[in-house]
Amino acid sequence: MTAADRYRYRYVIAVTVSLASVLELLDTSIVNVAIPHMMGNLGATLDQIAWVSTGYIVANVIVLPITGWLSAYFGRRRYFAASIALFVLASFFCGNAHSLGSLVFWRIVQGVGGGALLSTSQAILYEEFPREEYGTAMAIFGVGVMVGPTLGPTLGGYITDAFGWPWIFYINIPIGMLAFALSLSFIHNSLHQERAEQVDYAGLVLLAVGVGTLQTMLERGERLDWFESREVTTYAVISAVSLIAFVWHELVTAHPVVDLRILKSRQLAVGVLFGLVLGVCLYATVFVLPVYLQNLQGFTAEQTGFVILPGALASAFTMASMGRFTGKFDARLSILAGVSIFALSMWKHAHFTTDSGMSDFFWPLIFRGVGLGLIFVPLTNLALADLPMSKIPNGTGLFNLMRQLGGSVGIAISATLLQRFQAIHRADLIANVTQFSEAARERLSGIVGLLIAKGTAPALAEAKALRVLDGQVTRQALMLSFEQLFLLFGACFVLSLPLLLLMHRSRGAPGGAAAAH
């Protein structure tokens, strides 16, 4: 087979795997908007309905690190197409669910199907594109990865209001069927992967228990007040024991389900660690910003989506541009520039106020998008640069797992810190709102005068004014907490930059080790 024949359908394949990845990522965020409607229809509490999101993500995270093994065991074409089919089938049953138990079950099945789509897609692109076009391949993939989650709330809000919540699942069916047909037509089995001789059942069970309980702990920790809760402590202990046993077992067994030996590559080990930090900072800020826009600015989910959209488009444009320059300069410089621009964006975020408007959000979010666009493609290529092609599926699985776990850690930390910071700032502000403070007395009398002018009885005006003042203090405390969080995650990313010194400059691309052999 000539090179021209080998790579003839590479762009069709890139569109196919990007479609599948967008489906998987869109479903992570699209459901959150419809949760109040589901609660009403299914008669569920907030704690119960949370499993609709948690079940999907837990299943996703368990499958991610074993996608390389599953792809080799079943054959990449068959496994990828079957995962899309499972995702589409589960989407239909999710939309058709008439009880909470049924919906949660099919969301878990959907997560099992979706877990394969992300890392297998990356592995396919690395093999179906010539090495000099890896940057372009990752840019096409990255556009979907960045835009998918951003469109989720906007699309979810519109579909739920216009057609009802089942349609956020039914919308997956035509797109999924197209991706399924294209994958059967154009995607081939890997030329490099070696089929596992036997199934590592012990490794599978330890991984599922360890990662599953860790993810569940992160999802429920804030709601249950972390280690004050016996349930969360139990999750932590089970997770720690299972994961330690899993690492030991995988290192000593002859046919591991996750080949941890590839972490001997310092380039991959550092890349995976940097990916963890990227996940923490990316998902935490993606989580915090909509909370700020909806709680303090009173935006709807749809309006929030439109505020965030320009930044996602900037990210997609930057990634598409970066793809053309891959290999022409030191990728570490691109990551350095991206982290610096992201930090600048967080500094600008920290200057948002309760009175900020749409024009105040535009440039900080554009900077954030550009910064992330400069990081994503170079970091992926750097992390996988020393791996032979046969190990790329394992490498992409580990890289995506750590980014996803980083995201869960980031969301859990930001939710916890938001409450803690708000309590601290509220206490500080309340200390200055006393009868001995001239500013507080002036503000209170101004509010009383305004209420009386609007027709409130003088006897009630002071009590109402105190409630209004209390509300203003709460809002300001929350605003200060958001500012502090944005600065914290910007600083966290900057402090991870020394990790780049542990990575060597790589003009090559993933799979280069295969060529060397």
pLDDT of residue 306: 79
Distance CA 194, CA 254 (A): 14
pLDDT of residue 282: 84
Q: Which two tokens stand for residue 393?
A: 């599926």
Q: Report whether 130 contacts 3 (CB < 8 A).
A: yes
Distance CA 332, CA 328 (A): 12
Distance CA 82, CA 4 (A): 28
pLDDT tens, 12-49? 888 888 888 888 877 777 777 777 778 777 877 766 77
Q: Give how far the C-alpha of residue 109 lies from the chain's centroid of Cα atoms, to the nearest Å.
A: 19
Q: How confident is the model at residue 434 (pLDDT cuts 50, 70, 90)?
A: low
pLDDT of residue 515: 34
Q: Which two tokens stand for residue 396?
A: 């992409």
Average pLDDT over residues 76-91: 92
pLDDT of residue 244: 93
Report DSSP state, residue 225.
Answer: T
Q: Report whether 426 contacts 473 (CB < 8 A).
A: yes
CATH topology agreement for domains 1-196 and 260-517: yes
First to last CA, the chain: 21
Does residue 195 register a pLDDT over 80? no
Domain ranges of the chain: 1-196, 260-517
Q: Name the helix (H) or strand (E) containing 154.
A: helix 134-163
Does residue 512 register a pLDDT over 60? no
Average pLDDT over residues 382-401: 84
Q: Which two tokens stand for residue 188?
A: 């081939």
HSE (side-chain half, CA atoms, 13 Å) at 216: 21
- Tokens 């972490």 correspond to 263
Class of domain 260-517: mainly alpha
Residues 6 or more apart in contact with residue 252 via CB below 8 angstroms: none
User: How many other CB atoms are found less than 10 A from the CB of residue 92?
Assistant: 16
CA angle, residues 419, 28, 215, in degrees to nearest 5: 60
Distance CA 146, CA 166 (A): 25
Q: Give how far the C-alpha of residue 311 lies from the chain's centroid of Cα atoms, to the nearest Å.
A: 16
Does residue 405 register a pLDDT over 90? no
- Tokens 């600083």 correspond to 491
pLDDT of residue 437: 66
Q: Report whether 370 contacts 242 (CB < 8 A).
A: no
Q: How confident is the model at residue 293 (pLDDT cuts 50, 70, 90)?
A: confident
pLDDT tens, 475-493? 889 899 999 999 999 999 9
Q: Report whether 207 contacts 31 (CB < 8 A).
A: no
Measured CA to CA in angstroms, residue 377 lies from 106, 146, 256, 338 at distances of 33, 12, 29, 11
Q: How confident is the model at residue 377 (pLDDT cuts 50, 70, 90)?
A: confident
Does residue 166 register a pLDDT over 70? yes
Helix, strand, coil percent content, the chain, rounded in steps of 5: 80, 0, 20
User: How many other CB atoms are found less than 10 A from the CB of residue 306?
Assistant: 13
pTM of the model: 0.81
Report DSSP state, residue 8.
Answer: T
Q: Look at residues 102, 108, 91 and name the one whose alpha carbon lies nearest to residue 179.
A: 91
Average pLDDT, the chain: 82
**Top-ranked range on mean pLDDT: pick from 187-191, 210-214, 230-234:** 230-234
Q: CATH for 1-196, among 1.20.1250.20, 3.65.10.10, 3.40.50.170, 3.40.50.11540?
A: 1.20.1250.20
Q: Report whether 141 contacts 121 (CB < 8 A).
A: yes
Q: How confident is the model at residue 338 (pLDDT cuts 50, 70, 90)?
A: very high
pLDDT tens, 257-276? 788 888 888 899 999 999 99
